Amino acid sequence: MVDLSRFDSLISLASFFSTDAKCKAVLRESRWGNEVACPVCGSTHVYERKDGRFSCADCNHTFSVTSGTIFENTKINLRKWFMAMYLISSHKKGISSLQLSRDIKVTQKTAWFMLQKIRSLYNQSVPELSGDVECDETYIGGKETNKHEWKKTAGTQGRSTKTKTGVFGLVERSTGSVVAKTIRDSKSSTLIHLIKDYVKEGSRIYTDEYIGYHSLKDSEDYSHFSVNHKMKEFVSGEKNHTNTIEGFWGQLKRMIMGVYHFVSAKYLQRYVDEAVFRYNTRALEEGERFQLMFSRSIGVFSYHDVRFAA
Ligand SMILES: [Zn+2]
């Protein structure tokens, strides 16, 4: 089996995956090893046809090495797919469709399609967060003139979701694992619901003073600490802050503003997933990150998926 984590540069990746046939051979080996299995019935009574596809002797299903992967039915060379996966995961702020189109010689439309497909691999496998957990929301998009007024003052100012899309984020301090989800509103019920979904009971929750979090004060499930942002001064060693999640917001915004410029509400979750993936795999080497994406692209989950930043 090829160790995909050893690719430490685009040139080492491109040299190894020198032809489309090589890419297919590695896909085949990674998916099935020595025994090709039918994706429908699981049978290994499978025949390889002259056209390179496979037929199942038990259920007659015909399939290819890319069936059921993000590369299914693609007309784009697999070498370009693998390079695109490497590029998007190795660039710290992501890569625009325009840049990718130039780097791998495809149209911008094709590059956009590839990036969206690759982003679908980022959907978060979410561990339950516990211990000290910071929660916060941020707002993305909206009018040009409002773009720098991201956040925020206590109360409701700056939290309008009329022109912006909200994102709710949680981070477990001990591991630095982030979970972030787009939200339709910033009502207390919406935020508390998400906290219950992702945070283990008994955890300590740190938020700002937004009224939406006030009901946590009476919660039997969590201890709640709120940060007064008017008291700007941050005391070293002080636990009562939301600096970790704010650091993640900074990265998310730099990626969206700096590389993608504009993201519609419809696709925002995918970009958020991309930023979360990058953040949660920050301790991995380039090759390890590529290996993780590769295994997801063929629907196989590696140990890194169990706990990202462990
Ligand atoms: Zn079958």
In this structure, are residues 203 and 222 in contact, taking their beta carbons and an 8 Å threshold? Answer: yes
Q: Is residue 63 part of a domain?
A: no
Length reported for the chain? 310
**How many folded domains does the chain comprise?**
1
Per the structure, the complete domain to which residue 147 belongs is given by 132-263
**Ligand 1 midpoint to CA 30 (Å):** 19
CA–CA gap between residue 108 and residue 37 (Å, rounded): 36
Cα–Cα distance measured from residue 36 to residue 56, given in angstroms and rounded to the nearest whole number: 10
CA 40–ligand 1 middle distance (angstroms): 5
pTM: 0.84
Does any domain span residue 205?
Answer: yes
- Adjacent-strand bridge partners of 181: 168
Separation of 299 CA from ligand 1 center, angstroms? 18
Quick: pLDDT tens for 92-106.
Answer: 888 999 999 999 999
The parts of the chain modelled with pLDDT lower than 70 are 124, 142-162, 229-237, 300-310
pLDDT digit string (tens) for 191-213? 999 999 999 999 999 999 999 99
Those residues with Cβ within 8 angstroms of residue 232's Cβ, 6 or more apart along the chain or in another chain: none
Task: Answer whether residue 66 is part of any domain.
Answer: no
Q: What is the dihedral of CA 41, 297, 101, 251, to 10 degrees?
A: 150
Give 120 Cα–ligand 1 centroid separation in angstroms: 27
**CATH at 238:** 3.30.420
Q: From the CA of 49, how far away is ligand 1's center (Å)?
A: 15
Q: Cβ distance 229 to 209 under 8 Å? A: yes
- Give the 3-state secondary structure of residue 171: strand
* 255 within a domain of the structure (yes/no): yes
Residue 229 lies in a domain: yes
| pLDDT given at position 123 | 77
Give the Cα-Cα-Cα angle 254, 186, 150 (nearest 5 degrees): 30
